[in-house]
Structure 1
């Protein structure tokens, strides 16, 4: 017991010194579930840049490609990017629909670190299943249920195994990642299964907040805006260097943001000693940028959901007013 207490005291000392040196998350341990690409990768890198040790999981490795079919983005590469940012990245292959694989990931984190401070549930990979413009009964049942498995069941399985480790120390943070806020998702999100899949994490964060508050932990749901993920850039046939060329095809793309933006949003939450004020809330990258003062990679502060709220109301706002 004395040895364990001494270890905790030393860890606290390291964390305090690191924060004073500008590495707010040095000594902290994060698990980013679904960190192969897009928002998950950017969140892992931002946590690493703040000094965290980050376990990054996903199904696509340099040896195996998931059903998403994007071989160029792997968890190993994400871990290397975390290292390059100044943290420590650890790639662990895992299918988060397999309870035993998730259990093994958490047991490894416990064995190697003895703690978990930040859990990010960014598991998805269901874009290839989406069929907009169809009614519920017109969509193949297997496709719809697979979307719910990927975007809802996987989050539940991960939290089930990870939260007992996270609450071991007070101050833990759980981030559910989705598409849209509680406010923006009051309307129909274009398709029955997609609507359910993307609304569920908002409610999960609210529910987990009730379960975690007695342990000094915080649960929130965070959404990026119009995300310029690798897959989205490919869809429009552009790169991060010339992404504005896609605005001619899709005018709303003018408010798009890089994955770094939501990464910085989650890192800011993790570094905020008073983040419990957000407990149970649904938050956007643009909202958190205004709160914490960070910017996107290009120095702007896009507010996509402020923009789309007006679009959904039938207005025609100027995208320039939301960058």
Structure 2
């Protein structure tokens, strides 16, 4: 997510598991604590950095074999223009966490490449249990030419590229991977977006961006209907104000000193690490009752954290969407600390 990304929703507070302690990840294998996804096969599409990388690592930490895909490799960068994170590194982090990480360079706008990826997973594993669509990579398009502009003032090429990256890539990946996913005894399809259905009732400042971040919610809703007969679950999830690598670079800070950026943007005090959402989704993936609780729905990192007893790396449980609803948009007199 980018510096406009924030998100929301209400949830059950039933605490079915406590999959993590809230301590900082050291990047070392931790095979003795939580193997709830041992033997499961996952594909995290868009795992180069941010939430996608964290999701892949946490699924691996729970024991899964994780195929990680993206366009930035050690030999070639995507249009995002960052060379500091690669899919090879993401796969290595998955393995270091205790899973098996497999990097496959893939442009998810190319049906042939996606088809080849799915065929490889089928050939090597014979099944797919978890599909995470975290495809985006459009932050470089979210400039002054997009936010705050009317749709007809937005360069058409930029708008259409936003839809390619945020919608078309998701549809292509789902269409080609779902025939393998439904072979699983409990298929799980996760759509990662910006905002819940409730939060995105407000206009997201630009038509193209609004469409790109609302469409995954409808994809999860529709696929929830289609997967129900297979005992499957489709759910849309969103982080809050995400401390991704790009966001930290934007503020000129690191994960260790991220609070220094609060002087530039007071709302950054509610920011969460990518591991917060990832821990929550890993807990959801291990929940045998997930279909009844989440299928076809839209939820947030904070809602899932409450439901599964998850905390962020600093031990807090931030709820950025509630903070933005109440304080930023609602005018309530409160601080970010009241929502951590």
Q: 1:317, CA displacement in angstroms?
A: 2.9
TM superposition score normalised by structure 1: 0.93
Verify: 1:279 aligned to 2:295, yes or no.
Answer: yes
Return the alpha-carbon distance in structure 2 between the equivalents of residues 312 and 117 of structure 1.
39
SS at match of 2:280: helix
Whose helix proportion is higher, 1 or 2?
A: 1
Counterpart among 234, 238, 261 of residue 223 in structure 1? 238
Aligned pairs (5 A) from 1:222-301 = 222-276=237-291, 277-301=293-317
| 2:102 maps to 1:90 | yes
Of the three residues 74, 78, 88, the one matched with 2:86 is 74
1:202 is paired with a residue whose SS is helix
Name stretches of at least 5 consecutive residues in structure 2 with no aligned partner.
Answer: 1-30
Change (3 A) 1:169 1:20: farther
Encode CA deviations 1:255-292: one digit per residue, 9 max, x unaligned: 10000111111101111011002101101001111110
For structure 1, the residue ranges without an aligned partner over 5 or more in a row are 1-18
- Determine helix, strand or coil for the equivalent of 2:127: coil
Q: Which position in structure 1 is the counterpart of 2:337?
A: 320
- What is the aligned partner in structure 1 of residue 60 from structure 2? 48
Once residues 105 and 97 of structure 2 are traced to their aligned partners in structure 1, the CA distance between those partners, rounded to angstroms, is: 21
Deviation of the 1:21 alpha carbon: 7.3
Give per-residue Cα distances to partners, 1:212-243, cap 9 Å, x unaligned.
10011100000000000000001111111111
Residue in 2 that maps onto 1:157: 172
- 2: distance between equivalents of 1:150 and 1:170? 30
Which of the pair has the greater relative contact order for Cα pairs under 8 Å at 6+ separation? 2
| Superposition TM-score, scaled by structure 2 size | 0.88
| Cα distance in structure 2, aligned partners of 1:208 and 1:313 | 33
